[in-house]
Amino acid sequence: MIYPVVPSFQLQEIILFPVLITYYLSPILFFIMLYEIELPPPNILRNV
């Protein structure tokens, strides 16, 4: 794809890309965090 060469537009892309990634990944990360918080404490207690 050919973009017009505008520095501000490129900066916006650079800024928006990680924001979009974190926005789409945040629910997954949130569920992983919940899952991690829910499950391992019994395992840790068992191991100790």
Residue 45 domain flag: yes
Residue 5 domain flag: no
What CA–CA distance (Å, rounded) separates 31 from 8?
Answer: 35
Residue 48 domain flag: yes
What is the span of the domain harbouring residue 28?
Answer: 20-48
Residue 9 domain flag: no
Query: What's the number of domains the chain is made of?
Result: 1
Residue 4 domain flag: no
Residue 43 domain flag: yes
Residue 2 domain flag: no
Q: What pLDDT score was predicted for residue 19?
A: 84
Residue 32 domain flag: yes
Q: What pLDDT score was predicted for residue 23?
A: 85
pTM higher than 0.75 for the full model? no
pLDDT, tens digit, 9 for 90 and up, residues 1-48: 555 555 566 677 777 888 888 888 888 888 888 877 666 555 555 655
Instruction: Spell out a b/e string for 9-21, using b for 16 or more CB atoms within 10 Å of the CB, else e.
Output: eeeeeeeeeeeee
Q: What pLDDT score was predicted for residue 47?
A: 59
Q: What pLDDT score was predicted for residue 4?
A: 58
Q: What pLDDT score was predicted for residue 28?
A: 86
